Amino acid sequence: MSAKNPETENGTRRSSEPMPRFFARGPLQVVAGLVTGLALFVGFPDVSWSMFIWFALTPLLLFTRCASPRRSFLLWFLAGAIFYGWGLEWLFRLSLVGGVIVVGVMAGYMGLFGWCVPRLVRFGFFRSPWLLGCAWVALDLVRSRFLGGFPWLSLGHALIEFPRVIQVADLGGVYLVSFLPVVFSGYLSEVVAELLRGDQRAKRRAIRGAAVAVALVISATIYGSIRLATITLVPGPRVAAIQASIDPYGKHGGFTQREIYLRHHGLSHRAAKEGADLIVWSETMGPRVSSADPRSHDQILALTREYGTPVVMGVEATEPRPGGGDPLNYNRAVFLRPDGVIDSSDKVNLVPFGEYIPFRSLLPMKDAWEGEVREKMGRIPDMSSGTRTPLFELPVSSGETYRFGALICYDSLFAPLLRKFDLKQADFFVNLSNDGWYAGTAEPRQILEMTVFRAVEYRVAMFRATNLGYSASIAPTGDYEVLPVPDPLRPPHEGGVALTAELLLTGASSVYAGVGDLFAWGCVLVLLTVLLAGLRRK
């Protein structure tokens, strides 16, 4: 018996009625691209109308289902340029050229999704939405890993306002959460297309398609409700974030290194007196340290002994370069205990155009770009990536000893990085950040919401300590509390604040912690199989 044709459904040929001609009109297709790009943008901070994410792809799916792959690529590229151009507008603060490059690459991934759309809708009413979901996830995985990765603005991140739905992240990561609105939009576009065909069989398919779309969301919600009911949370250590509110650009009078130190020192004393078990200084707020100068470590260790409380301190560190030459620079988290224990870990995933320059020698207008960055940052970014992922031991007065890892800023965006830690021993993670570079933009809220997904994926508590931005305590369920700071994005606050929270821990594990991005790689395999099969038929 011959295999089913992609144009059939359950052995029954799809309606032969053509789509209305206006779906092929160029101006309307461009309007659809604009609408999809805008709908995606408003689903994310600062607008955060997350309900739009469920429907955002539908207009352009409708208008590109019968387009050529080339035209579909261009239309989806347009939508991506609008979405990422506005969603990542904070990138342009550091560099116009860098921002254009990143947004162009991100829009290119959406263009590739558009190239797939006409090829995948041929597989029929009930199969094509799932294939579209696989295509989106596969490209999300590639852009999160290729050339260092940039996992910003995955669709799943916008669904943080649906706390039960995002619990499926402990099965397939944020990729599984992103998969849901793509499939939902795919079914919705199919429903509209069938209704426009107008015959009775098409209307029955439309009803069944709408039922599948709704059932998909309900199933995820039911799973989330059941999963949340199985997670028991217990009180953990009291952790204090030293949010000193130092303007990194120095536009508000500026601070000397000594003034920065004195502000953190005074706030740390306050946090220790209030009973904090751990004090966390944000990213690069501590004095510079060097392995070539042991006294630099003695200075910060003396601080910890003075407080009587362990400290995690963000510092810039220098190490000799093997073989000689200029020293290596690291963005480092140093853990210090009053009993003299010192350990550290370095930032693994560096911010492109903020901490290093990808393909520096190949950049167009290289000299002009470097001059722009040097004027804004005072230097050319040239940091090195770390390799160690130790767990630090935190004994507390109750007799308990907790183990935790440190993630620096951008590291919290990369789910695979946490798998390099000994997750079975990790009780929580701290995330040191300095979102002051992007104060007043959507970036601080975006990075907070992305960090929430690490807590859900691995069922582990997270604690964010920022210089400017959103310091927060995040439970393994994804519930989070932004620690109260009045108007946190407008520096400087008078004297800064010490923000303390009691972490909520759990012994629960997750499927994702064991299998990682298996779901996403499965989507890659499905997409490649389908596309290669289509090429063979030609």
Q: What is the pLDDT of residues 247-261, one digit of tens each?
A: 776 544 456 677 787
Q: How far apart are the first and last CA of the chain?
A: 21
- Identify whether the C-beta of residue 107 lies closer than 8 Å to the C-beta of residue 84: yes
Predicted local confidence at residue 485, as pLDDT: 64
Predicted local confidence at residue 375, as pLDDT: 57
Predicted local confidence at residue 488, as pLDDT: 44
Summarize pLDDT for 165-221 with one digit per residue, the tens: 999 999 999 999 999 999 999 998 888 887 877 777 777 878 888 888 899 999 999
Predicted local confidence at residue 320, as pLDDT: 80
Q: In Å, how far from its chain's centre is CA 216?
A: 24
Predicted local confidence at residue 249, as pLDDT: 64
- How far apart, in whole angstroms, are the C-alpha atoms of residue 230 and residue 66? 46
**Kind and range of the H or E element at 268?**
helix 257-273
Q: What is the 3-state secondary structure (H, E, C) of 486-529?
A: CCCCCCCCCCCEEEEEEEEECCCCCHHHHHCCHHHHHHHHHHHH
Strand 472-474 and strand 480-482: the pairing is antiparallel
- How far apart, in whole angstroms, are the C-alpha atoms of residue 461 and residue 68? 47
pTM of the model: 0.86
Identify residue 443 by its one-letter amino acid code.
E
pLDDT beyond 80 at 384: no
Mean pLDDT computed over 418-446 = 87
Mean pLDDT computed over 60-77 = 92
pLDDT beyond 80 at 17: no
Q: Which of 144-148, 160-164, 360-364 is predicted with the least confidence, judged by mean pLDDT? A: 360-364
Mean pLDDT computed over 68-87 = 94
Q: Which of 13-22, 102-111, 189-198 is predicted with the least confidence, judged by mean pLDDT? A: 13-22
Q: Which of 222-236, 327-341, 359-373, 522-536 is predicted with the least confidence, judged by mean pLDDT? A: 359-373
Q: In Å, how far from its chain's centre is CA 388?
A: 22
pLDDT beyond 60 at 361: no
In the chain, % of residues over pLDDT 90: 43
Between 296 and 146, the more confident residue is 146
Q: Could you write out the DSSP letters of every residue in 116-164?
A: HHHHHGGG-TTTHHHHHHHHHHHHHHHHHHGGG---TT-HHHHGGG-TT
